[in-house]
Amino acid sequence: MHTYTLAKLALALEKKEFSSIELTQCFLEQINKYNQDINAFITVTAEQALASAALADKRRVKNNAMPLTGIPIAHKDIFCTEGVKTSCGSKMLDNFIAPYDASIIKHFQATGMVMLGKTNLDEFAMGSSTENSFYGVSKNPWDKTRVSGGSSGGSAAAVAARMTPAATGTDTGGSIRQPASYCNLTGLKPTYGRVSRYGMIAFASSLDQGGPMAATAEDCAMLLNVMAGSDTYDSTSVDRAVPDYTATLANDINGIKLGMPKEFFTDKLDANVAATIEAVAKEYEKLGAELISISLPNIDLAIPTYYVIAPAEASSNLSRYDGVRYGYRCLEPQDLTDMYMRSRGEGFGAEVKRRIMIGTHLLSAGYFDAFYLKAQKVRQLISNDFKQAFTKVNAIICPTVPNTAFGIGEKTVDPVAMYSSDRYTAGVNLAGLPGLSAPAGFINNLPIGFQLIGDYFAEALLLNLAHCYQQVTNWHQQMPECI
Amino acid sequence: MSNKSSFTKADISKIAYLARMAIDDADIAKYAIDLSNTFALIAKIEQVNTEDIVPMAHPLNHKQRFRADIVNEIDQRKAFQKIAPQVDAGLYLVPKVIEQA
């Protein structure tokens, strides 16, 4: 049962093929078997999970179960979970027991999903490999000498190794889509404002968005039904009705126009990755889609723009970690300044310190206009390019990442070189658009995903497109040998 | 501050102090290189023509929502202070800030 999709698990529970307790025990056994090696989970909440499962079984007896009631899920350790450690992958919050639940956690609880635990991530979501986690790297179940991606690498590794059938992630510059690509999963970054950020520890507030990670588009649709919605506690969330994302999965895509940005298909793109994405595009043509070449003239500015805005916002967001009210406080501070300096110096890892310093400098007097304000204007240009593209096409198809999963330690010597690998994903966050990565095949036995980008609130179309592709291919059904 | 494309150790120390974040002396040189490399990456945007472009704060040009000016939260100080490093009588304790006379 650990290999079942959410959709299959939901049906099996309804038919009483097994109980939620049995199902939860199965996944807890998977965690016992694999987590020591893979390091996907920071915290496993076994007792709580079994208690939730028991409640879910009672609910089913009373006939008030919902589609996902009683099904286990893992949450990226960036979502506050009341009474449970919420570390954000950092020494700074290693001792932090969240005093409240994030809004999406409350949604999942209301639907009766069973939380297995909290998954590993790059510290404060800053990174692309989980190598920046205080708790060590999460290994890729497809090749344990390689990273599972980041920052939602723990969630990706947990689903790929079937320690959980699904997980939540967050995406600020690609942190759901890239690990989904590296681990052969489907992962969705919703439109900015589609999912509440209340209780989701902030990295870059104008870019962050929580989303689902699972084996299939159908599973992601089931999860998005739970996650999406306006929230009075998040004033950036958008007051817009949530459709049933599962209802339109099987819509006919004949006549859909798919744009292929010429700036993404240059000789800079690895030939194997290009060939894989082109094969996906050809499959969509067979399904009746029309492929159209489009241009995003300013898209090469996405990386520089992102690496102004994200660190700037991060430096502001992380100023709350001062050792006063929660989190790490240094020993025997001599005075207030010493307390701030050493609590933050000792509590944060190198990558977080790097980004805080970049952001602090960019927001300082004399640089704010030249950089942060400028970047917000360039961001508008990038967004305008996408708006223009969506007058010609319904969705965009392109690579998620320039490569398959890289080796552990391979990119840690030059952290700045790693930033360029966000080139296909970061622009989507800057524009606030929805983006999805789904399995596209394998290169040298390593998974690679393709990306679909949609117009604002086009999650239903992206899930529909991915689902249709998954009806005629079976990449998404492949599992690592170790499972 | 020196040329922004090339950070010195003094620059790093100054920025780290602005951010109230201690950096080990042994690491300062590496951070200087990393920040210099990052600025080389982001320098591209300086030359972009953004005349008449309005800075984008929210992708959907959303307006800030307001709510009625009434108290609608319960006092949770006890729960929040349970996880604090040091508290007393409902106050967070920190090193003394007032200098001796």
Could you tell me the two tokens for B56?
Answer: 């984008």
Q: The dihedral of CA A245, A247, A249, A252: what is its sign?
A: negative
A441 vs chain B: nearest CA distance in angstroms? Answer: 32
Q: Is the whole-model pTM more than 0.95? A: yes
Tens of pLDDT along A152-190?
999 999 999 999 999 999 999 999 999 999 999 999 999
- pLDDT at residue A36 tops 90: yes
Q: Which residue of B has its CA nearest to A358?
A: B35
Give B101→chain A minimum CA distance, Å: 16
CA atoms of A419 and B37, how far apart (whole Å) = 11
Which residues are CB-neighbours of A370 under 8 A, at least 6 positions away?
B46
Do β-strands A186-189 and A143-147 pair in parallel, antiparallel, or remain unpaired?
unpaired
Of A151, A181, A178, A142, which Cα lies nearest the Cα of A77?
A151
* Mean pLDDT of all residues belonging to chain A: 97
pLDDT tens track for A321-339: 999 999 999 999 999 999 9
The set of residues, in sequence order, having a beta carbon less than 8 Å from that of B2 and lying 6+ positions away, is: B8, B10, B11
Preceding peptide of A151 cis, ω within 30°:
yes
Which pLDDT belongs to residue A209? 98
**Predicted local distance difference test score (pLDDT) of residue B2:** 37
pLDDT tens digits for range A380-399 = 999 999 999 999 999 999 99
Please give the residue that has the higher pLDDT: either B14 or A482.
B14
Question: Cα A274 to the chain's mean position, in Å?
Answer: 23
Q: Is the pLDDT of residue B17 over 50?
A: yes
Q: Is the pLDDT reported for residue B100 higher than 70?
A: no
Burial of A257 (0-12, 13-18, 19+ CB in 10 A): middle
What is the reported pLDDT for A429? Answer: 98
Question: Both tokens of residue A181?
Answer: 């690509």
Chain B interface test: which of A206, A361, A371, A423 (most B C-beta within 10 Å): A361
* Angstrom distance (rounded) from CA A223 to CA A207: 21
What's the pLDDT tens digit per position in B26-63?
999 999 999 999 999 999 999 999 999 999 988 887 88
The residue type found at B94 is V
B60 with A432: CB under 8 angstroms? yes
**Which A positions 152-211 lie with beta carbon below 8 A of chain B?**
191-193, 206
Tell me what pLDDT residue A483 has. Answer: 76
Å between A167 CA and nearest CA of chain B: 26
Q: Is the per-residue pLDDT at B4 higher than 50?
A: no
Q: What is the model's pLDDT at position A92? A: 98
ipTM > 0.90? Answer: yes
Of B4, B23, B84, the CB nearest to A353: B23
Q: Calculate mean pLDDT across residues A113-140.
A: 98
**Could you list the active site residues of A?**
76, 151, 175
In angstroms, what is the C-alpha Rg of chain A?
21
Alpha-carbon distance of A305 to B41, in angstroms, equals: 9
